[in-house]
Each structure stands twice: as structure tokens, then as C-alpha cells.
A = this chain, B = another copy of it.
């Protein structure tokens, strides 16, 4: 046991899990720490929030994914602090000594200082977020069915999504699908397809990371679904029953009881603390600016990967916070650590960009696979479906998710639209998992 190298990984997301599964070497002992007992496939979380999938469909127990890796121990606990000189990770309930530490704690949503908005505009990062957003959306339809005043109905059936990045676009698209098709015959006093879905984007275009042509196509697809896309529009305040916006420099009020936040992310409290403890440079989202080999300045035994890491190839923009980057970094690091133990030379990390995808709704997506391969519509959607399925299948045989998707596609019926939890009649609801 003495000669073993002990690698501690904090966070069982796409990055941490890739590192853990690829550190398959008997001279390495791996401990993976996560405050959850499951790996969550975040790219499909919006489908839980809109009732298309159940939480169990997009989450797998970490122990179950890693059960054949006998050199990996999973610990369910929360990282509280690190002592980079003593090489210790302090947990809420105990501590761990490490030879190598991999930080992969990701990001959560951020309100740019206006943290009170969390009460009226929940973000989408965890299963609890998703099931609460689901309850909120469905409860709005339920309430609208019960009220007589047309103004109140309009307010209840107005849904505002803040942020026109991939998450915001996906949420808005799925909401439109829900209102126009899934709920079509469900109500007697309201017509769910009268719901107004408004997507707010601060920049000149939605899907800002995509080429202008694809942004325009995405916007057109959203409009076809009946979504009102408001560019150059920023939120100035969010109150329980309204959103104040600044649209092309003119102030305006949107009356609504459902605001969903998809506008920005920042690292977690622990991520920021870890950055400070190691004297690393942080970017404005709190991400740790890493060396070419993903190590943290000054501490060659500490690495940061995934959404927590700010990495850029020389002269390029930093890599986006998406699953493929995290997974490639996890795999790279596993190789890198194995090489290091054998005294071999290490090449800097290099991201192989297979392209990016954003899904808009049923049969609509945009794909940017390089300058010559940009397309949208049905084939982009099929590609999106395929890529996401491959990911899920990589970690476990989730044939079920595929069957469920196919089922929903043909029936347009989402069986998972349950209102659960405690506060579905009261707003603002309890944000029970923030910063935990």
C-alpha cells in the first residue's frame, strides 16, 4: 500500500468521472469525492425540468458506474477546504491525504450579484432545481385554469427565460413543445398554446458562441415555435410577479409568475476557496486559470478540469464549459498522471473540437462542426440525439432513455410531468440545494 499513489478527485461530473475511469492502473489508488451519490448528465436536465424525462433517466449512481474499478473508492461527502502544502483535502466529515488532487467541482448559476433573484428566477443545475422548475411551470398552468381574470391568466401563462445560450434556447424550445403539443387537450378553461414564452438575450444575438448564420437560423426556429426572442435586452430586476427589463435602452415591464434563469455561471464556493488557497489566478467567473498541463500555478500536484478550469490554447479564447471539454481533460489527465509516474514526458493538453450543437425543439437543432460544416434542422437534431445517446451509453447501457425519447417523439406525451415537493402552491419556493 505504501508505494501506491493516491489520487483524490473532487466532483463526479463529466470531468471527474472520466479521470476516475481512466486511472486504471494498479499502482494508483483513486478516491472520488462527491456530495451526491450520482453522476448527473447535465445536458439533458432541461428535459427533466419540462417533464420529458424522469430524474432517474439522466442520473446514475457513481458507485454503480465505477463498481468494476477496484482501485476506485467513492466517498459521498462535501469538500470543505484544502491544505495544499500539507497535501490534505478537508471534508465536511473527515479529511483525506493525497499525492495528486484533481478538482472538478464545476459551476453553478450566478445572478451577477443580485442573489435575491434566486427566489423568483430559479436556475437549472441540479435535479432538485429541475423538479422544482417542473412543479413551477406546471403549477402555473394549473392556476391559470382556475382563475377567471384574463389579466391574471395572461400573467400566469407568461414564461420568461433569461439567457439565450444553449440552456436558455433548449428550455424555451421545450416549454413551447409542452404548451403547444403535450398539454394541448389537458385543460378545459385555458388553451395552453396561448402561453407566451419570452427569451431574453443581453447580446446582439442568441447562441452567441455560434456563427451568426446559425444564430439567425436558431432564432427563426424559435419563432416558428411561437417564442418571442428579445435580443439586446437585459434584466434590471425580478420581482415575484414581474420582470423589469431594459430593451434597446428602453425600460419595460413583463408581468409573469415564472422566470427561469439561464444567464450566467460561476464556480462554487469551494472552487473559489481552492483557487485562493493555491494562489491561482481566477477569471471573473471564479474559474481557475490553469497551466498547459491543467495543473494549478505553483502546485504541480493539483489539477483543475472541466467547468472549474479556465484553459485556453495559446492565442485562443478559453474553452467553453461543455461536457466534451471536461471529458477530454479527464482522460488527458489520467494518461498524464500515468506517464508522470513512469517518468515520461508530458505534452500540454490539446482540445479536439468535434463541434458544437444546440437543440431547439422536436426535430430542430443547429450544428457547428467547423467552418465548412454548419447546418440546422432535422439532421442537426438527429446528430444531437445521437451524440447525447452515445454519451449516456458510454457510462451505462441506457437503452431505456432512447426508447423513452422515441416514445415521446411519436406520441408527444410526456409522462414525467409531476408536481412534487412541498411548496407548489406557494411562491417563492424554497431553494433547498443552493451552495450545498
Report A's interface with B, CB cutoff 8 A.
36-38, 53-57, 59-61, 63-64, 67-68, 73-77, 92-94, 127-128, 131, 138-139, 142, 145-146, 183, 185-188, 396, 398-400, 403-404, 407, 413, 415-422, 425, 432-433, 436
Task: Known contacts A57-B54, A64-B186, A415-B56; decide if A146 and B75 are in contact (CB<8 Å).
Answer: yes
Task: Known contacts A142-B37, A186-B63, A400-B403; decide if A422 and B415 are in contact (CB<8 Å).
Answer: no
Q: Give 4 nearest A-B pairs by CB, closest first.
A: A54-B56, A56-B416, A63-B186, A54-B54
Docked-complex contact A142 and B76, CB < 8 angstroms:
yes
Q: Which residues of B contact A36 (CB under 8 A)?
A: 418-419
Docked-complex contact B407 and A400, CB < 8 angstroms:
yes
Q: Which residues of B contact A53 (CB under 8 A)?
A: 56
Q: Which residues of B contact A413 (CB under 8 A)?
A: 64
Contact of A94 among B146, B187, B416, B421 (CB under 8 A): B146
Q: Which residues of B contact A418 (CB under 8 A)?
A: 36-38, 55-56, 59, 61, 127
Docked-complex contact A419 and B185, CB < 8 angstroms:
no
Q: A37-B142, A64-B415, A403-B403 are in contact. List 14 more A-B contacts (CB 8 A).
A: A37-B417, A37-B418, A54-B55, A54-B57, A55-B55, A55-B420, A56-B56, A56-B418, A63-B186, A64-B417, A75-B145, A77-B146, A128-B422, A400-B404
Sample (24) of A-B pairs whose CB atoms are under 8 Å apart: A36-B419, A37-B142, A38-B418, A53-B56, A54-B54, A54-B55, A55-B55, A56-B56, A56-B415, A56-B418, A60-B415, A63-B183, A64-B413, A64-B415, A67-B186, A68-B185, A74-B186, A75-B145, A76-B146, A92-B425, A128-B422, A400-B403, A422-B433, A422-B436
How far is B54's CA from A415's CA once the two chains are assembled, in angstroms? 12
Q: Which residues of B contact A183 (CB under 8 A)?
A: 63
Task: Known contacts A61-B418, A73-B188; decide if A138 and B396 are in contact (CB<8 Å).
Answer: no
Min CB distance A32 to B, Å, is 11
Q: Which residues of B contact A185 (CB under 8 A)?
A: 67-68
Min CB distance A129 to B, Å, is 11
How far is B400's CA from A57's CA once the two chains are assembled, in angstroms? 12
How far is B60's CA from A76's CA once the two chains are assembled, in angstroms? 32
Task: Known contacts A61-B418, A63-B187; decide if A93 and B146 are in contact (CB<8 Å).
Answer: yes
Min CB distance A67 to B, Å, is 4
Docked-complex contact B404 and A127, CB < 8 angstroms:
no
Min CB distance A156 to B, Å, is 13
Q: Which residue of B lies closest to A76 (CB)?
A: B142
Min CB distance A76 to B, Å, is 4
How far is B68's CA from A185's CA once the two chains are assembled, in angstroms? 7
How far is B93's CA from A146's CA once the two chains are assembled, in angstroms? 9
Q: Which residues of B contact A61 (CB under 8 A)?
A: 186, 415, 417-418
Min CB distance A182 to B, Å, is 8
Q: Which residues of B contact A127 (CB under 8 A)?
A: 418, 420
Q: Which residue of B lies closest to A40 (CB)?
A: B418
Min CB distance A17 to B, Å, is 15
Task: Known contacts A54-B54, A56-B415, A186-B61; decide if A421 and B128 are in contact (CB<8 Å).
Answer: yes
Q: Which residue of B lies closest to A187 (CB)?
A: B63
Q: Which residues of B contact A57 (CB under 8 A)?
A: 54
Q: Which residue of B lies closest to A75 (CB)?
A: B146
Min CB distance A184 to B, Å, is 8
Q: Which residues of B contact A396 (CB under 8 A)?
A: 415
Q: Which residues of B contact A76 (CB under 8 A)?
A: 139, 142, 146, 419
Q: Which residue of B lies closest to A182 (CB)?
A: B64
Min CB distance A51 to B, Å, is 8
Q: Which residues of B contact A407 (CB under 8 A)?
A: 399-400
Min CB distance A428 to B, Å, is 16
